[in-house]
Amino acid sequence: MGKEIIIGVIPVIIAFLVFIGVNVAPLIIAAMIISFLAFFVMRQGGMSIGQKKTTVETPKTKVKFNQIGGQERAKKELREALDFLIHKDTLKEYGIRPLKGLLLTGPPGTGKTLMAKAAANYTNSAFVAASGSQFVEMYVGVGAQRIRDLFKEAKQKAEKNNQESAIIFIDEIDVLGGKREGSQHREYDQTLNQLLTEMDGITTSEHPRILMIAATNRADMLDDALLRPGRFDRQIVVDLPDMKARKQILEIHVKNKPLADDVDIEAIARDTFNFSGAQLESVTNEAAIYAFRDKSKVITQSHFSHAIDKVMMGEQTDRESTAEERERVANHELGHAIVSEVVRPLSVSQVSLRPRGQALGYVRQSPQQDRYLYTLENLEQQIMIALGGAVAEEMLYGGRSTGSRNDFEQALHLVNTIIDSGLSRLGIVKMDMVGKEALHEERQRILNDLLDSTRKVLTEHFPVFQHALNHLLREEVLNGEQFRIMLEEARALPKQSKVEEIEARRMKA
Ligand code: ATP
């Protein structure tokens, strides 16, 4: 309303000044310059006028701890810390200083933001959230002003909602709280200083009480000043979910979805090793989208299977390949799958010829158990599985193709892990202390030995290629069970001289 009145009055005043003979040109130019500057500053979000909000508008949070799957230890630690906020009288009795900052550390998408929201709900606190990158601005002082605004906003919100405490959540705290080097001055030093000052100002008697929760994927990058006692002195690790936690997360996200009877959540949890909570949520959502596209009333296990592939490898591509290329890719993937099933029975979950992302085909493995510790044997098996594709091509076509590049990268990475972990013939070594020659020799020895073992496995199981190839080319996808049946059938075929058979195939090719 005020704005409209001003817009109406200004032209009248200008007309009057012109009428009485005043030269209005300098006035108009000055007004234009001031408006331009004001607009510019507002766009940068510097001043409180224009109120570019630093925080994401968050209505009272409704997230509860039981809506967060897994993370039992993190939830317990967080709840314990929050109890200090709830029972503040006991704090006073014991003379305990208030908890000011909690740091949640862990990979992206593991539920750190969810935890902070649940914390606000649990303690009936007002909740304001911001991200570290929103504080990094070109203009000195802008970030610091935003920190002040953030604390002000949290207090106002708590007062407005009649709440006794407020939680300020800063995601990506490493962006504004990274290690400071030497005397180098950066704009965000001021922002960080302001944050430290505000945190130092938090007291037990303050009303409303403020608790800071920050999240980062890189706790090692944070400035020591932030981690000092009295600031973010409690660190809670929010890690990737294990098998049981993945099942719980999936169960939370399928609650509102129509599932077919064949859906096996445990199998999906098994197939999604190393997925974060966010990726698992995405799997359930993508599965529902596939069901919707198929006009199916319920989401089936096959929709979930496609969804896992999509989240892991990317969207299916329409890359057209020639018949020879497709056959080569099929044999390459069968090579991986045969080795995988032979060295780790029941490990193949799917063999696919559908191009996704950068891959023309792929084998999805399904570990029977999550594994966090690897023996030499485990690593060697994984290298053999990676080499299986290239060896299959070599045996069937007399040479490899560029399709094995990623496999070799993976194999070399694992070879380095063997050497680095003191599992090679070099003994316990530090990679950069071993001569290049010796390192190269050991790498080649490990790889050549494993190439030989892979050749042996594939020669033993050579009939599987012939037996499964046409089926795979026709169906495009074989699930683990189908593949295992083919493997068994091929094993039962009359044994002939495999070497001769390989030679004959090669000649034909
Ligand atoms: P980032 O580090 O990238 O900011 P984050 O750790 O804060 O990620 P969230 O934003 O909390 O992750 O999670 C994103 C989404 O993933 C959530 O909205 C939720 O749908 C899902 N999610 C993640 N972890 C869990 C979990 N443990 N239980 C249930 N859902 C989860």
117-144 pLDDT, tens digit per residue, is 999 999 989 999 998 888 776 566 678 8
Quote the pTM value: 0.77
Which residue's CA is the closest to the ligand 1 atom numbered 9?
A: 111
Which residue's CA is the closest to the ligand 1 atom numbered 31?
A: 277
Ligand 1 centroid to 322 CA: how many Å?
Answer: 42
Residue 42: predicted pLDDT:
53
Does ligand 1 have an atom closer than 6 angstroms to the CB of 277?
A: yes
User: CATH classification of 243-313, choosing from 1.20.1440.230, 1.10.620.20, 3.40.50.1100, 1.10.8.60?
Assistant: 1.10.8.60
How far apart (Å, rounded) are the C-alpha atoms in residues 312 and 356? 9
Ligand 1 centroid to 280 CA: how many Å?
Answer: 9
How far apart (Å, rounded) are the C-alpha atoms in residues 380 and 451? 10
How far apart (Å, rounded) are the C-alpha atoms in residues 197 and 231? 10
How far apart (Å, rounded) are the C-alpha atoms in residues 284 and 276? 13
Ligand 1 centroid to 218 CA: how many Å?
Answer: 17
Does ligand 1 have an atom closer than 6 angstroms to the CB of 112?
A: yes
Q: Concatenated DSSP letters for 177-208?
A: HBPP-TT---HHHHHHHHHHHHHHT--TT-SS
The residue ranges of every structural domain in the chain are 2-43, 65-237, 243-313, 323-508
pLDDT averaged per 10 residues, the chain (length 509): 66 80 80 73 45 51 88 90 80 80 93 93 91 73 83 90 89 82 60 86 76 90 85 90 95 95 94 93 97 96 93 82 90 96 93 86 82 90 96 93 92 95 91 88 96 95 91 90 91 64 61
Ligand 1 centroid to 109 CA: how many Å?
Answer: 4
Residue 244: predicted pLDDT:
93
Identified catalytic residue from 172, 198, 333, 341: 333
Residue 509: predicted pLDDT:
56
Does ligand 1 have an atom closer than 6 angstroms to the CB of 281?
A: yes
Does ligand 1 have an atom closer than 6 angstroms to the CB of 248?
A: no
Does ligand 1 have an atom closer than 6 angstroms to the CB of 365?
A: no
Residue 134: predicted pLDDT:
81
pLDDT in tens, 470-485: 999 998 889 899 999 9
Does ligand 1 have an atom closer than 6 angstroms to the CB of 69?
A: yes
Does ligand 1 have an atom closer than 6 angstroms to the CB of 282?
A: no
Please identify, by atom number, the ligand 1 atom nearest to the C-alpha of residue 114.
11
* CATH code for residues 65-237: 3.40.50.300
Please identify, by atom number, the ligand 1 atom nearest to the C-alpha of residue 241.
27
Active site residue 333: yes
The C-alpha torsion from 441 through 447 and 451 to 457, rounded to 10°, is 130
- Top CATH class of 323-508 equals mainly alpha
How far apart (Å, rounded) are the C-alpha atoms in residues 422 and 105? 29
- Residues in the chain, total: 509
